[in-house]
Structure 1
Amino acid sequence: MPAARVLIDGPSELVFDYAIPDGLPVLAGCRVRVPLRNKTSTGTVLAVTDHAPADLGFALRPLHSLTDPEPLLTPKLLELARWIADYYACSIESVVRVLLPEAVRTEENAAKTRKAVVLTQLPDEETLDQLAKRAPKQHTILTLLRHVPEQQMPLTDLGNAAGTSVKALVAKGFVQLIDQQVRRDPDADGVDEILPTRDLPLSEEQQTSLDAILSSLETDGGSLASPPSPTRPFLLHGVTGSGKTEVYLQAARHVLEAGRTVLVLVPEISLTPQTVRRFRARFAHIQDQVAVLHSNLSQGERFDEWHRIRKGKARIVIGARSAVFAPLPDLGLILVDEEHENSYKQDQVPRYHGRDVAVLRAHLEGATVVLGSATPSLESWQNALDQKYQLLRLTHRADGQSLPLIRVIDMRLESKKQKSKDTFLSDRLRSAIDDRLAKNEQTILFLNRRGFARSLQCPACGHVCQCPHCAIALTYHRTDDRLICHICGHQAVVPRKCPECKDPSIILQGFGTQKVEDVFHKVFPSARIARIDADALRKKNALRDLLNAFRARKIDLLIGTQMIAKGLHFPNVTLVGILNADIGLHVPDFRAGERVFQLLTQVAGRAGRGSLEGEVIVQTFTPHSPSIQFARHHDFDGFADQELEMRRQFGYPPFARCALLTVRSTHERRAEFTLQTLHRRLKEALPPGIELGEPLPSPLVKAHGQFRFQLILRGPKARALTRHVQQVLDKTPLPEDVTAVFDMDALSFT
C-alpha cells in the first residue's frame, strides 16, 4: 500500500508516515486529515512513496481524508523547499511552514461569506403591478435586482427590514438566497482614487534594458506562451530616479499579455503601498488581479490573498521577502527591487535570502528574474563582473535632471561652534530648510535612530540605565515616557534620580527621531512636520496615510528612519538632510562601509526627482570616510573597486562564502563552553579550504536574556560549509538550555 510522509500542523515539527487508502488521490503538497493519538489533526504531505517502509514492524494508520482536492504546494515549490533546507541547514518542515503560512494551514481561517439575494425569475408586468400595490417592499427589491450587475445584491444592502420580504419572494420562486464570498481587501479602506497611467517614452538606456529583458522572455517564434529555458539573471543597475520602475512595468505588461504571471518583491513593507499604486494605475483594467502579501496583513486578508493567487485570480503579486513563495501559476517574471537590502534575509529559521531564492525559483520555473538597485550588493556586482548575471545600466535620470548636489558638513567643527556634544542641526542645514519652507518646497530628514534619547546617564557616577535582558542601554521614548529596549522590547519607568548614587541630575544623552521632531517644531514653528518610524506607525495604514499626506504637500518636513530611505518618489522634495551619517559606520562588520554607502546614496536619491534641482546635506563626524566620499560623488564603481579589492585580500564575500555559528543560553559559562566544544570538533575533521574562526563573545553579548557566543566560518563553497557544520551538530548533543544557530551567508554579525 502506498504511504505518505505528513508534516503535522502545530508548533512542534512532527512528521509521521501514514498509509494511503485506495481511491484517495494523495500527492505531495496536499493537505490531509490524519489520526494522531485519539484525535484528528491536519497536516501537509511532504512525499509519497509506493510502499511503506519494510522494517517498521507494524501497520501504518491510514489517512482520513483530503482537506483540499488539489495540492497546495506545486512540485516546483517543494523542490525549492528541499533546496533551501539543504543549503541553509534547516529542516524541510520549517521551510514548508513558510511556504504555507499559518493563515492557510489553520482550519480556523476560512473564506468570508455573506448572504446575497439573486433574481431567479422576473414576474410578468401584471404580477409586478399587483406587488407594487399589495407588497411595495417586494416590488422595490425586484426592481433593484433587475438593474444591478449579475442581478444580485448583498442582503444587508437591502436594508434591515428586508428579510421578511425576501423570504416571501423566495417562497414565490422569484429570488434565491446564496452564500456570496467576500474578499477581505487589504486596501479596501483606501480613500484616494487611482488614476490610470500609460507607458512612458523610454530613454535609449531604458529601451536597451527592456529589449534585453524581453529577448530573454521570448521562445521559439517570439511567443511567451510556453515557459522558456532558464536564462541568466539580469542586474539592472540604475542611478536613483533613472526609471527602473518604468522598465519593470513595461516588462510586466509583455508577460501579462502572454498569459503568464508576475512577482514583484520589495524590501520594506513601507514600499508596498507605493508599488501597488503604480502597478494598479498602469494595469487599471485588471486592478482586481493585483495581490499583496506581507506581514502586516490580518489572518483573513492573508488567507484570501493567498488563495486568490493559487487559483489564478491574481496575476500580479507584490510583497516583501516571504512573497517569493507566492503560489503563482505560470510564473514568467520576477522583479526584485532594491536587491541589495538586508531585509531580504530572514533572521529566523529558515534563514533564507529572498533575493537568492528568487533567482533559484526563476531557474526552476523557467522565468526571468531582474534584480534592480542603484547600489547593488557587492555579491551581485561580482556575479555581473563574472558574467553569471547580465548587467544592464541606467546612468542618467529619466527626466534629464542631474543627480543632486551633496554637501558634507563636518560636525566636529559644528560641535565646537555650538558648544554642544549632541548638536544635530548645522547652520547650513538650518538655512537650507528655511529656504525650502519659503519656496513651499519639501524636505526629508533622515536619522536611523528612533526614540527621544539613546540613553539615560548619571553625570555624577556614570551609571547608564541598561536593559536587564540585553547588553544594551535603554532608549528614552518621550511619547510613552518610558525607557525601552530596542532589542527585546523591555520597558521601564524613567527614574527621577540615579538608581546607583541617588543623584537627581541624571540626564538624557544622544538623540533620536522623537527629539529631532520636538526640536524642529520649536526651530521651525510654522512648518508642518511629521515623523515616520516604528513608534509613529503602530496603527494600521498609518504609513500609507502619512505618505499620502506628504504626496499631497500637506507636510513640509518629513523626519524618518530607513523606512523613508529608498524607493519613494516625491517630485517636490528638493532637500534631503542626513543628520548623522556615522550611525552604522563603526560597527564590527566587514559590510559596514558598504551599508553606509548604500544608505547614503539611497537617501540622497530622494532629492531632486522632479523639475527642481535637489540638494543633499550630509552631517558627519568622519567626513573623510571612503563610504561618505564616494557617496558624495555618486561613484558606485569607485567604491565597489576599492571595497572588492579589500574583500579579495582578506578573503571575505563575494570571494568566499561566510557562515556564522552562534550558541546562546541563559547561562553564560554553559554557552561559552558549548561553543568551545563545537569549535574543537569542527576543527578535528575540517575540510580543506575552510577557515575556522575562534569562538568569541558576540558584539551584542546578551540579548533577550540569553548570552551569545559565536564563530565565523569561511570557505570557497557553501555546501561544504553547511554539511560540515550540520554533521558536527548532529553528532553533538547540546545541553537542554543551550541553542545552536547556524546562519549560512550571514549578513548580521552582532
Structure 2
Amino acid sequence: MRLVQVALDLPVPRLFDYRLEGAGDPAGRLVKVPFGSSGKPSKIGVVVGEIAHSDQPVERLKTAEPVATLPVLPQEWLELCRFCAQYYHHPLGQVMAFALPPLMRRGKRPREPKPKVGAGKTASPAGYDPTADQQAAIDAIGGATGFATFLLHGVTGSGKTEVYLRAIEAVLAKGGQALMLVPEIALTPQLEGRVRDRFPAARIVAAHSGVSDAARARAFLAALTGEADIVLGTRLAVFMPLPRLGLIVVDEEHDASFKQQEGLRYSARDVAIWRARLRNVPIVLGSATPSLETFYHAMSGRYTLLALPERAFAAAELPTVVTVDTRKQTLQDGLSQELIEALSVRLHRREQSLVFLNRRGYAPVLACPACGWISRCRRCAANLVLHLADRRLRCHHCGLEAPIPRACPDCGNLDIQPFGRGTQRLEERLATLFPDARILRIDRDSADSPKKWQTLLAAIHGGEADILVGTQMLAKGHDFPNLTLVGVVGADAALFAADFRAPERLFAQLMQVGGRCGRHRLPGEVLIQTEYPDHPLYQALIGHDYVSFARQQLDERQAAGFPPFSHQAILRAEAHALDDALAFLKDAVSRAPSLADVTLYDPVPMRLFRLKSRERAQVLIESTSRPRLHAFLDAWLTTLYGFKAPRDLRWHLDVDPAEY
C-alpha cells in the first residue's frame, strides 16, 4: 500500500492524499476515489505522484481504485497540465479534467470499434511544384534539429497550407506525429478532407467540440497509443498526448478563438509553443496578419520569419483595394452606388461577389422614435437584435429571445422601427436591387449546424450563388475560384473601439476577407465603404502593407505601455449586484502584496457589465516583468482563496487577457 496525491476536478488549488495498491509508477493513473461524507458518489481523479508522508494519519486515508479500462497518462501530458495550472494560476485538477475527453473524465472508455489503420505513410503528390519562397520555408522547417519557432507570414493565397503539408510529410516519413491547430470548427472538415487526400495511408483524427464524446475519446486514445499520425483540431487539441510528436502547426495563429474565455482561460497558441519547447520539436505559426506579439518576436529574432510575399499561382494577383468615401452619399440600406454598380458588373460577367458585414440579424436594435424605448436585453447590458426572418428579438450574448412587439411597450406607439443593419437587412435590399440574382446569406443563423454549413459551401463551390452576404464565417480559410468582388460594409466602428487590440483585429479581418477574391485567374477587387478613407489602417490595406501597419501599431503600444511591452492579468468578479462584485475587488486590492514593477488599477465595471443576469467588474494587473507579475499573482492568490466572499459571488483570474 502506497501513499499518492490525486488531482480532482474541484475549484481549489490543492491535491488530496489517498492510499493506492499496486506496483509501478502510479503517476498518470486515472482513479476512482471516495470524496466527502459517506453516501456521496465517488470522483474520478488523476494520480500526480507518490508521497512518502501525509499530513493526515495513514489509517484515516481512503483508498483510491484504479480505472483499469483506461491507460496511464504519459509524463509529458502531466507536465503540460502542470504548466497550464502554474502559468494560468488555475487548479491542477480542473486543468486535467478540462484536458481529458468527457468520457474519460467520467472513467469510461468508448465502446465503438477503432477505425482501420492504413498500411503505410506514403503521401499523395501535391500536384504542383512549390514556389521558391515556399521551398525555402519547407527547407527551413525541415532543417530544424530541435525546438524552433517559425512565423510563416504569407499573403492570402500564398500557399501556407502547402508548406504545412510538406513539413508534415517529412515528419511522417521519419516516423513522427504531427499536431495541427486551426481556429474554427468550420475550417476543420475542409482542411481534414485536404489532409486525408494528401495522406491516404496515415491515420488522421479530429479533435474539436463538434465531434461526439465517443469520437473525441477514441481520438485521444489513438493519439496516446501512437496509432494516430496526425491530430487536427481546434484549441482543445493542444492537450492531445502524442508520444512521437515531431511537429506542431498553428494555422491563423492570430485568431482570437485560440484564447479560451471560460474556465481554464488559456491561449492554445502559447501552450503549443511551450509544448514544442518541452518536446524539443519545431512549431510553425502561420498567418497573413500575424498577431502583433508574434510579429514583435519575429522582428526581435526570438522567432524565425519565413515570408511568402506572393500568391502561389502565378496568374493570381493580390486584389485591388479601393476605399469608397461615404461622407457625401446617401446609402441604400448601407450600400453605396459604387458597390451597387460593382455588383451589377459581376452579375453581368457571371462572377461571384461577397458583401461582408460582421453583424448578423436584420438590425442591431428595434426602437421607438416617439419615447426613445429600445429593445434591451433584461439579462445583459446589451440590446436585443431584430431577426426579422424569425420574427424574433434575440440577444447574441445570452440567447434570450422575445417576440417582436406590435407597439412600443412604453408609450404604445405603433411606429417602432429598426435602426442600423445586419446581414438579413442587406440580403433583403440586395434582393430588391437584383431580383434575378441568386443571393445566399451565410452567418450563424443560416449555418447553425455543420450539415447546413457544408450545404452552403457546396452551393457556393457549385456556382449556385451570385451574391454572398456573410459575416466573419467567410473571412478566412475559404477558396472560391469564381469570387472576384468583396464589398465591406460597416467597418468604421472598430476604428474607435475602447479595446487597444481593435485596430489589429479589424486590419486582420479586412485583409482576410479581401483575400477570398481573385485567388485564381480572375482579378479581384475589394471595396471598403468608409467615412475615413485617409485613415492609416485603410491606407495600409490598399498597399497590402501589413509590415508598416504592424510597426505603427507597435510604436503606439510601446508609447502606451501595452503588450507586448508589458504583461497583464485581470481579476474578475461577478455577482447578482454590481456593488458586491466591486466590494470584493476593492477588498482584494487592499490585501494585495506590494511588489516593485507591478501596478494594480482601480476596480471598474466591465464594458458588458451585465451578462446572463450577473453583474461583472474587474481589476487590471500590469507589469513590464513577466516573472514579477507571476510572483505577485502567486502570493495574491494565496490570500484570495482564503476570502469569505458572498455565496453568490464568483471570481476568476485571466492571464494574458484578450478581452477587456
Common fold: TM-score over 0.5: yes
In the alignment, the residues of structure 2 paired with residue 516 and residue 663 of structure 1 have an alpha-carbon distance, to the nearest angstrom, of: 39
- Is 2:319 aligned against 1:404? yes
Q: Percentage identity across aligned positions?
A: 39
Q: 1:215 to 1:184 in 2, by over 3 A?
A: closer
The 5-angstrom pairing of residues 618-697 of structure 1 reads: 618-682=528-592, 685-697=593-605
One-letter amino acid matched to 1:353: S
The 5-angstrom pairing of residues 203-242 of structure 1 reads: 203-217=131-145, 229=146, 231-242=147-158
3-state DSSP of counterpart to 1:413: coil
In the alignment, the residues of structure 1 paired with residue 51 and residue 90 of structure 2 have an alpha-carbon distance, to the nearest angstrom, of: 27
Native 8 Å contact 2:148 2:281 kept in 1? no
Native 8 Å contact 2:482 2:522 kept in 1? yes
Shift, 1:108, TM fit: 5.8
What is the aligned partner in structure 1 of residue 120 from structure 2?
Answer: none
3-state DSSP of counterpart to 1:516: helix
The 5-angstrom pairing of residues 134-153 of structure 1 reads: none
3-state DSSP of counterpart to 1:461: coil
The 5-angstrom pairing of residues 505-544 of structure 1 reads: 505-544=415-454
3-state DSSP of counterpart to 1:414: coil
What is the aligned partner in structure 2 of residue 712 from structure 1?
Answer: 620
What is the aligned partner in structure 1 of residue 19 from structure 2?
Answer: 19
- Is 2:524 aligned against 1:614? yes
- The one of 566, 570, 573 equivalent to 2:476 is 566
One-letter amino acid matched to 2:175: G
The 5-angstrom pairing of residues 157-172 of structure 1 reads: none
What is the aligned partner in structure 2 of residue 201 from structure 1?
Answer: 129
Shift, 1:40, TM fit: 6.5
What is the aligned partner in structure 1 of residue 279 from structure 2?
Answer: 365
3-state DSSP of counterpart to 1:296: coil
Identify the range of structure 1 (363-372 vs 522-531) with the bigger mean alpha-carbon deviation: 522-531
What is the aligned partner in structure 2 of residue 89 from structure 1?
Answer: 89
In the alignment, the residues of structure 1 paired with residue 432 and residue 24 of structure 2 have an alpha-carbon distance, to the nearest angstrom, of: 70
- Is 2:553 aligned against 1:552? no
In the alignment, the residues of structure 1 paired with residue 236 and residue 423 of structure 2 have an alpha-carbon distance, to the nearest angstrom, of: 29
One-letter amino acid matched to 2:33: V
One-letter amino acid matched to 2:242: L
Whichever of the two has the greater Rg, that structure is 1
- The one of 637, 646, 652 equivalent to 1:741 is 652
Shift, 1:686, TM fit: 2.9
One-letter amino acid matched to 1:413: K
The 5-angstrom pairing of residues 366-445 of structure 1 reads: 366-400=280-314, 401-415=316-330, 418=331, 423-445=333-355
In the alignment, the residues of structure 2 paired with residue 20 and residue 57 of structure 1 have an alpha-carbon distance, to the nearest angstrom, of: 12
In the alignment, the residues of structure 2 paired with residue 653 and residue 80 of structure 1 have an alpha-carbon distance, to the nearest angstrom, of: 25
Q: 1:622 to 1:184 in 2, by over 3 A?
A: farther
In the alignment, the residues of structure 1 paired with residue 260 and residue 419 of structure 2 have an alpha-carbon distance, to the nearest angstrom, of: 33
- Is 2:25 aligned against 1:44? no
What is the aligned partner in structure 1 of residue 111 from structure 2?
Answer: 111
In the alignment, the residues of structure 2 paired with residue 39 and residue 332 of structure 1 have an alpha-carbon distance, to the nearest angstrom, of: 44
What is the aligned partner in structure 1 of residue 400 from structure 2?
Answer: 490
In the alignment, the residues of structure 1 paired with residue 189 and residue 337 of structure 2 have an alpha-carbon distance, to the nearest angstrom, of: 36
> What are the Cα deviations for residues 301-351 of structure 1, in whole angstroms up to 9, with x where unaligned?
222322232233321111111111112220111110110111100001211
Q: 1:18 to 1:456 in 2, by over 3 A?
A: same
Native 8 Å contact 1:312 1:329 kept in 2? yes
Native 8 Å contact 1:513 1:561 kept in 2? yes
- Is 2:225 aligned against 1:311? yes
CA RMSD of aligned residues (A): 2.2
What TM-score does the superposition give when structure 2 sets the normalisation length?
0.94
Shift, 1:34, TM fit: 3.0
Q: 1:705 to 1:391 in 2, by over 3 A?
A: same
One-letter amino acid matched to 2:253: E
In the alignment, the residues of structure 2 paired with residue 54 and residue 471 of structure 1 have an alpha-carbon distance, to the nearest angstrom, of: 48
Native 8 Å contact 2:447 2:453 kept in 1? yes
> What are the Cα deviations for residues 490-542 of structure 1, in whole angstroms up to 9, with x where unaligned?
11121111111111111111111122222222222222222221111223422
What is the aligned partner in structure 2 of residue 479 from structure 1?
Answer: 389
Native 8 Å contact 1:199 1:282 kept in 2? no
3-state DSSP of counterpart to 2:217: helix
In the alignment, the residues of structure 2 paired with residue 698 and residue 516 of structure 1 have an alpha-carbon distance, to the nearest angstrom, of: 32
Q: 1:251 to 1:361 in 2, by over 3 A?
A: same
In the alignment, the residues of structure 2 paired with residue 311 and residue 414 of structure 1 have an alpha-carbon distance, to the nearest angstrom, of: 63
What is the aligned partner in structure 1 of residue 186 from structure 2?
Answer: 270
- The one of 231, 234, 244 equivalent to 1:330 is 244
Which runs of 5 or more structure 1 residues have no equivalent in the other structure? 113-180, 186-194, 218-228
Native 8 Å contact 1:8 1:41 kept in 2? no
Q: 1:24 to 1:533 in 2, by over 3 A?
A: farther
In the alignment, the residues of structure 1 paired with residue 549 and residue 651 of structure 2 have an alpha-carbon distance, to the nearest angstrom, of: 36
> What are the Cα deviations for residues 400-452 of structure 1, in whole angstroms up to 9, with x where unaligned?
2321001111222223xx4x6xx311111111112112222112221111111
One-letter amino acid matched to 1:440: R
Identify the range of structure 1 (553-562 vs 241-250) with the bigger mean alpha-carbon deviation: 553-562
One-letter amino acid matched to 2:619: L
Q: 1:253 to 1:650 in 2, by over 3 A?
A: same
Shift, 1:57, TM fit: 6.2
Pairs aligned (count): 649
One-letter amino acid matched to 1:47: V
Shift, 1:65, TM fit: 3.3
What is the aligned partner in structure 2 of residue 243 from structure 1?
Answer: 159
In the alignment, the residues of structure 1 paired with residue 365 and residue 505 of structure 2 have an alpha-carbon distance, to the nearest angstrom, of: 24
- The one of 700, 718, 721 equivalent to 2:629 is 721
One-letter amino acid matched to 1:675: L
Which runs of 5 or more structure 2 residues have no equivalent in the other structure? 118-122
In the alignment, the residues of structure 1 paired with residue 182 and residue 490 of structure 2 have an alpha-carbon distance, to the nearest angstrom, of: 26
One-letter amino acid matched to 2:328: L
Native 8 Å contact 2:33 2:45 kept in 1? no
One-letter amino acid matched to 1:99: A
3-state DSSP of counterpart to 1:391: strand
Q: 1:297 to 1:583 in 2, by over 3 A?
A: farther
Shift, 1:10, TM fit: 8.2
> What are the Cα deviations for residues 614-645 of structure 1, in whole angstroms up to 9, with x where unaligned?
11111123323322221121111111111111
One-letter amino acid matched to 1:697: P
> What are the Cα deviations for residues 149-180 of structure 1, in whole angstroms up to 9, with x where unaligned?
xxxxxxxxxxxxxxxxxxxxxxxxxxxxxxxx
Shift, 1:97, TM fit: 1.5
Shift, 1:575, TM fit: 0.9
Shift, 1:719, TM fit: 3.8
In the alignment, the residues of structure 2 paired with residue 523 and residue 609 of structure 1 have an alpha-carbon distance, to the nearest angstrom, of: 27
Q: 1:184 to 1:261 in 2, by over 3 A?
A: closer
In the alignment, the residues of structure 2 paired with residue 344 and residue 429 of structure 1 have an alpha-carbon distance, to the nearest angstrom, of: 34
In the alignment, the residues of structure 2 paired with residue 585 and residue 281 of structure 1 have an alpha-carbon distance, to the nearest angstrom, of: 42
In the alignment, the residues of structure 2 paired with residue 385 and residue 182 of structure 1 have an alpha-carbon distance, to the nearest angstrom, of: 46
3-state DSSP of counterpart to 1:541: helix
3-state DSSP of counterpart to 1:466: coil
Identify the range of structure 1 (691-700 vs 24-33) with the bigger mean alpha-carbon deviation: 24-33
Shift, 1:184, TM fit: 12
Native 8 Å contact 1:9 1:105 kept in 2? no
The 5-angstrom pairing of residues 277-296 of structure 1 reads: 277-286=193-202, 289-296=203-210
Native 8 Å contact 2:362 2:388 kept in 1? yes
Shift, 1:724, TM fit: 1.9
